[in-house]
Structure 1
Amino acid sequence: MELGSDLDWSSSSAAYSLLLRALSLIPTSHYLLAASLLLLTFLYRFLELHILQDLFSFSSGSPVTLTYNSGSRFYDAVVSKCKLLHGSYRATPWLSSPHLQTVFLNFFGRPPFFKYRRQLFTTPDGGTIALDWLMSSDVSGGTIHMDDVISKDDSTPIVVVIPGLTSDSSSAYLKHLAYHTAKCGWKVVVSNHRGLGGVSITSDCFYNAGWTVDVRTVVNYLHKENPRAPLFVVGTSIGANILIKYLGEEGENIPVAGAVAVCSPWDLLIGDRFITRRRVQKFYDKALAIGLQGYAKLHQPHFSRLANWEGIEKSVSIRDFDNHATRIVGKYETVDTYYRRCSSSIYVQSVSIPLLCISALDDPVCTREAIPWDECRANKNVVLATVKHGGHLAFFEGITASGLWWVRAVNEFLDELHSSHFMHVQKKISKPSTPLDSSIDQGPYVNVTEDGMVAALNNEPKSDNVEEIQDTHRDTVHIITPFKKYLSQLSRQNRWSTWLLVYIAITTSWPVVGSALYILFGKKKRNVLPDGLVRR
């Protein structure tokens, strides 16, 4: 047995020796070629390259998919005339990756060269906002007149731009937008966030993903100073989230003729989970966290006093920064509470002006998972345009990557909207209710109102002019009357809702009805039974 084992071992060793000798005969260049192919395959998948799909596809690029309400007159009159939104987008060949596009935009971007005109605007709470203006004369070589910034008799349209997170008017993508919009003959004003654009923090208020106070104040100011000029608003990234939330909060009582939201994160809670899911997303998470730390260091005295400075310095992600700074300054209980309350997806249903939303399905920062498809389709004022490729705020096109596709799409849309009869006109009506304003979320008690509907009871103090009804008989009538008056209405409602109302009516009126039944049957009992038995 031992001799057989030795023979097997020697034969195996000889086989491995022959294999190694054969491998050594393969040229080193072949190994390098194989390693290069493996590396390229890894990078192709890791960077989500799509150059091969673009080369072997016979189409002219990625078609633009539009999501809208089938009964939308706004779509029929405006969006249907936009050729770019009914065409396709072909990415720059050497930037055929959402990551390459996004990184190239932030480090290079190839922005046009021009100079803004700065106006410092003071908010009611003492804050300072830098409004950077760009006129058509600034990009066409015409004569510059400083009073063109605020000309009350001018009807030239004004486009208000809301930047993204830690971005300001000097960002490459905003320069592309401002330059080409001014080229169309319009006025552009970039409303920089507080503390950005080289301006100091002058109050204890900071911007965040749901801070709509500043855009509301700036828009109202511009409308007051330029009553004849149509106002349009364009939001990018976090600025798009702020814009949609602002539109949903205001409803029709807003002096904005139309708006565009580009690469909105929509749902901040989903975005938070997405950006920490894969290693490549964590790169963006870390990069944005470094940008937020830089913003905090610019205003360290304020953050040291109002937030957790030690935690800010140790932050390695957006969530860490929001936990140690944004949540505390904004007075939110938890980070998730901040994300839920500031997400724009819940406000889409309340948007009452023409709104175009543009998103890339391969956006490495704002995931497609957060897009509220059904809400956009249900609102006749909203049109959602999605493209398969484009990255985050990039959408480079052409061999030289000299232009951004979404900038051309925005300008074409605004031009069509401006020439149509669908520009929104402000209406003085009450603001729409949002899910956060629902009284159902504020109290665990319910009450049946006179119209037969179930409403929540809050623990708020009653006003002095409300008379409390203390009479038991009137309470009983108050509860039973709605059932008589709206019996036909309740019969058409859901069966469970009807039984819920019946249950509430029985439980709330039982003390009165029970007392009446006890008195009634008590008297009958005394009349029927013998006197001796009753005495016992």
Structure 2
Amino acid sequence: METTGTDVTISPYHLIFKGLALLPVSFYLFISFLVSLVFLYILLQFHIIHDIFNGYGSGYVSLTFDSSSVLYRQVVSNCHLLHGRYFSTPWLSSPHLQTILLNLLVKTHSFTYKRELFTTSDGGTIALDWLMNSNESRFQVNGDAKVVPIIILIPGLTSHSDTPYVKHVAYKMAEYGWNVVISNHRGLASVPLTSDCIYTPGWTEDIREVVNHLHCTHPEAPLFAIGTSIGANILVKYLGEDGVDVPIVGAASICNPWDLLMDDKFLGRGFMQRFYNRVLANSLKNLARMHRVVYARVVDWEGMEKACSVGEINKYTSRITGNFETVDAFHRSASSVYVVANVKVPLVCINAIDDPVCTYEAIPLDECRMNKNIVLATTQHGGHIAFFEGFSGENLWWVRVIEEYFSVLHSSSLINKTTGIIVVKERLT
């Protein structure tokens, strides 16, 4: 504290503020810009600085499998990408950025689908979209469906055959020579609901009937399957429920949430998780609104309209249609983690530790390690379904991984032709 000759007291805080006032406005704008950058860096979980200081020395794919697994010895050990490293696109070095921009940045091509409407046993209708040709004339698929291996693609929660990332996967697989069909969830892909059975994230009867249908109509073609996100949960749950009675010779699970109860809790934790939860809930509401007549008849419509999360949506829809007392009971019943031990089909699972939608805590490491039919691949980064690679960020790393895995599996001794039908020579347990 200072005093002048007239005994007027001047506060040191006054002097500080007076000094700060002398600083130019540009200085404060610069500081605000830096603070905002740090805030966004932390909020969006960027890891570019860590990667640079680490010299890009990490990124190795971690594999979990039974040490005596024939699948690993004969197939996965020959998959170079699974024994390599995954580096995310530098300017997309954030799980949130990868996830949010997935359908905006992923490269898509022009091609057409041939739609097959499949009627289920309950009278429901499912759109099976077959990839036919490309305007770029780089490939021709579905030429001889009797012998060309078929990949069945099961999309995520409300994704469908026209969703950009689904089109990217379909095109890339067809470019490698596979016959590709997208099995859309009922009510999606502009197909009306023709029964009172609505789509839920644990309903496996649709994919079961679709697979059996394709096996009957293409008896000489080996069937492979890819599930993404909720589609992966449905696929793995189906494989676990049916065990050896599955006419699929190879499968891939991408970003499976595994435990829907645990994931429901996870989506209520942080700011970004609550953001995803709201976005996913709104997409489910939009699906219900497209089929309001049916939904209003079989669910609690008013409750669903007020719901703000996926868990609440399930409480007023799937819980009711499935006759569960609580939504937690539904989530447990719908989770693939409880049947993964019974999977008998060669299965590769890919999950990112930093997945902002599906918690890594739900990944069944022990169950996968004890099942000789499964190899689990985890990466530190990748976001949800994304795994952008290269500087341009147009391509998804996991697509190349699964194509290599399917190719090696298809040419391995685990699959052999018997009386003209492709079968798995031995279920690995």
TM-score by length of 2: 0.93
**Correspondence for 1:241:** 233
Distance 1:117-1:138 versus aligned 2 partners, 3 A rule: farther
1:381 to 373, 377, 380: 373
Shift in Å at residue 144 of structure 1?
A: 7.9
**Correspondence for 2:33:** 36
Shift in Å at residue 57 of structure 1?
A: 2.4
**Correspondence for 2:45:** 48
CA distance in 2, matches of 1:322, 1:200: 21
Cα deviations across residues 133-161 of structure 1 (Å, max 9, x unaligned)?
A: 0147787456788xx48x4xx21100011
* Superposition map of 1:498-517 within 5 A: none
2:84 to 84, 87, 102: 87
SS at structure 1 position matched to 2:302: helix
Cα deviations across residues 146-197 of structure 1 (Å, max 9, x unaligned)?
A: xx48x4xx21100011111011011111111110111111100000000001
CA distance in 1, matches of 2:426, 2:353: 38
CA distance in 1, matches of 2:94, 2:20: 37
Letter of the 1:425 counterpart: V
1:185 to 171, 177, 197: 177
Q: Give yes or no for contact 1:361–1:367 (8 Å, CA) kept in 2.
A: yes
Cα deviations across residues 182-226 of structure 1 (Å, max 9, x unaligned)?
A: 111110000000000110000111121111101110111111111
Q: Give yes or no for contact 2:263–2:359 (8 Å, CA) kept in 1.
A: yes
| 1:342 partnered with 2:340 | no
| 1:367 partnered with 2:365 | no
**Correspondence for 1:325:** 317
CA distance in 2, matches of 1:22, 1:366: 50
SS at structure 2 position matched to 1:425: strand
**Correspondence for 1:212:** 204
**Correspondence for 2:16:** 19
Shift in Å at residue 28 of structure 1?
A: 2.2
| 1:67 partnered with 2:64 | yes
Cα deviations across residues 413-444 of structure 1 (Å, max 9, x unaligned)?
A: 10010010123836999xx9xxxxxxxxxxxx
Aligned-pair identity in percent equals 51
**Correspondence for 1:358:** 350
CA distance in 1, matches of 2:141, 2:50: 48
* Superposition map of 1:102-181 within 5 A: 102-135=99-132, 140=137, 148=143, 151=145, 154-181=146-173
Letter of the 1:226 counterpart: H
CA distance in 2, matches of 1:13, 1:245: 75
SS at structure 1 position matched to 2:111: coil
CA distance in 2, matches of 1:184, 1:200: 33
CA distance in 2, matches of 1:302, 1:276: 29
CA distance in 2, matches of 1:139, 1:253: 40
Shift in Å at residue 95 of structure 1?
A: 0.9
1:400 to 350, 373, 392: 392
Letter of the 2:29 counterpart: L
Distance 1:257-1:251 versus aligned 2 partners, 3 A rule: same
Max radius of gyration: which structure?
1
Letter of the 1:169 counterpart: S
SS at structure 2 position matched to 1:155: coil
Q: Give yes or no for contact 1:129–1:193 (8 Å, CA) kept in 2.
A: yes
* Superposition map of 1:432-447 within 5 A: none
**Correspondence for 2:213:** 221
Cα deviations across residues 371-427 of structure 1 (Å, max 9, x unaligned)?
A: 011001111110000111111011111111110001111101100100101238369
Q: Give yes or no for contact 1:249–1:350 (8 Å, CA) kept in 2.
A: yes
Shift in Å at residue 108 of structure 1?
A: 4.1
**Correspondence for 1:528:** none
The CA RMSD over aligned residues, in Å, is 2.3
Q: Give yes or no for contact 1:135–1:185 (8 Å, CA) kept in 2.
A: no
SS at structure 2 position matched to 1:261: strand
Q: Tell which deviates more after alignment, 259-268 or 305-314.
A: 305-314
Number of residues of Structure 1 aligned to a counterpart in Structure 2: 419
CA distance in 1, matches of 2:253, 2:61: 16
Shift in Å at residue 21 of structure 1?
A: 1.8
**Correspondence for 2:285:** 293
CA distance in 1, matches of 2:126, 2:317: 20
CA distance in 2, matches of 1:351, 1:73: 15
**Correspondence for 1:438:** none
Letter of the 2:406 counterpart: L
**Structure 1 unaligned runs (5+)?**
1-5, 433-536
Distance 1:102-1:91 versus aligned 2 partners, 3 A rule: same
CA distance in 1, matches of 2:349, 2:140: 35
SS at structure 1 position matched to 2:339: helix
**Correspondence for 1:512:** none
Distance 1:122-1:372 versus aligned 2 partners, 3 A rule: same
Q: Give yes or no for contact 1:354–1:422 (8 Å, CA) kept in 2.
A: no
Letter of the 1:312 counterpart: M
Q: Give yes or no for contact 2:227–2:253 (8 Å, CA) kept in 1.
A: yes
Q: Give yes or no for contact 2:133–2:140 (8 Å, CA) kept in 1.
A: no
CA distance in 2, matches of 1:275, 1:143: 42
Shift in Å at residue 325 of structure 1?
A: 1.2
* Superposition map of 1:456-475 within 5 A: none
Higher relative contact order (Cα pairs below 8 Å, separated by 6+ residues): 2
**Correspondence for 1:390:** 382
2:402 to 392, 410, 420: 410
* Superposition map of 1:509-528 within 5 A: none
TM-score by length of 1: 0.75
Distance 1:38-1:11 versus aligned 2 partners, 3 A rule: farther
1:57 to 46, 49, 54: 54
Q: Give yes or no for contact 1:62–1:88 (8 Å, CA) kept in 2.
A: yes
**Structure 2 unaligned runs (5+)?**
416-421
Q: Tell which deviates more after alignment, 411-420 or 170-179.
A: 170-179
Q: Tell which deviates more after alignment, 166-175 or 417-426.
A: 417-426
1:101 to 85, 98, 104: 98
Cα deviations across residues 485-525 of structure 1 (Å, max 9, x unaligned)?
A: xxxxxxxxxxxxxxxxxxxxxxxxxxxxxxxxxxxxxxxxx
| 1:425 partnered with 2:423 | yes
Distance 1:209-1:11 versus aligned 2 partners, 3 A rule: farther
CA distance in 1, matches of 2:426, 2:362: 32
